[in-house]
Amino acid sequence: MSGAEFVPLSLTPMLIGIFAAVACALPGNFLVLRKQALIGDAISHVVLPGIVVAFLVTGAVSAWPMMIGAALASVVAVVLIEAVRRLGRIEPGAAMGLTFTAMFAAGVLLLEQSDTSAVHLDVEHALYGNLESLIWLDAVGWESLLDPIALAGLPVELIRIAVTLMAVCAFTWLFWRPLKLSTFDEGFAQTLGMRTGWIGLALVIVAAIAAVAAFDAVGSIIVIAMFICPPAAARLMTNQLEVQIVWSVVFAFLSAVLGYVLAGYGPLWLGHDNAVSAAGMIATVSGMILALAALFAPCRKRAGAPAH
């Protein structure tokens, strides 16, 4: 594929996939180590009704209303979980599972009953995103990367997820020591005066922001997979947190690139006429990387937390 074809048709979707994967994988490392990996799954379920309601109120798919809607949906989820737990007298895990499933189903029903024909927001979009359609119409080749007029036509989703990735990286860098200490030894972190509860809450908020930013472009499947698979695979590669972070970024990058390429060309190589979902293939590749790490990674048989 020449630059005249690759840049307008594949560069921006691939970059969006990479940025979304890394933005979810970075906080996912700490969630996996805290045994809270399914928070990413929970977030992707909970935010859907909030995003749909935000669209119904504003009539447009824009960043800030989506963030506010997702935040309000998260608050509603917390209240419902506590209400179900107390009124139904069931254990917290069951209450969480019931609430997350019910809210995701409510979001799907809202989508089905709403007129979203004017925007790319439907049930399929909620699951798989619209990665393949995020092309750069103003680009004519690699020279467009230096053309201000062409750059002004970049998909807004690319700008949004790039800013989100920078924010996630900044959070991880600025709060590296508190995150590390509170993850491995919460009691010791508290003796140093760290407010571990606030640190944990900030981590969840950052994860939610990454999920919402990625949700519009890549859908819930990639969000769930990237929060878990690259960090879990990286966890099996090393016993040092810093190295684990690097491995998770590498695995997220490989998942996005290989998944996007295989989605477009894999079926053709096998003699089929149609491509498959890029989001589904990216998630599949990330799962395959995790499976290979579980089989062959150097630290697959060790137990305990990584070294400080």
Confidence of residue 303 (pLDDT cuts 50, 70, 90): very low
Instruction: Select, from the ranges 36-40, 128-132, 247-251, the one with the highest average predicted confidence (pLDDT).
Output: 247-251
Identify whether the C-beta of residue 220 lies closer than 8 Å to the C-beta of residue 127: yes
pLDDT in tens, 212-229: 888 777 888 888 899 999
Residue 14 CA to residue 76 CA, distance in Å, equals 34
Residue 8 CA to residue 12 CA, distance in Å, equals 7
pLDDT in tens, 241-262: 999 999 999 999 999 999 999 9
* Amino acid at position 229, single letter: C
Owner of token pair 């399914």 = 38
Q: What is the mean pLDDT of the chain?
A: 83
Strand, coil or helix: 306:
coil
Mean predicted confidence (pLDDT) in 179-187: 88
Least confident of 89-103, 113-127, 171-185: 113-127
Other C-beta atoms within 10 Å of 148: how many? 6
64: its two tokens: 């800030």
pTM recorded for the entire structure = 0.85
CA dihedral in degrees (258, 261, 267, 269; nearest 10)? -90
Owner of token pair 């750059």 = 151
Strand, coil or helix: 97:
helix
Instruction: Report whether pLDDT(304) > 50.
Output: no
- pLDDT value at residue 86: 77
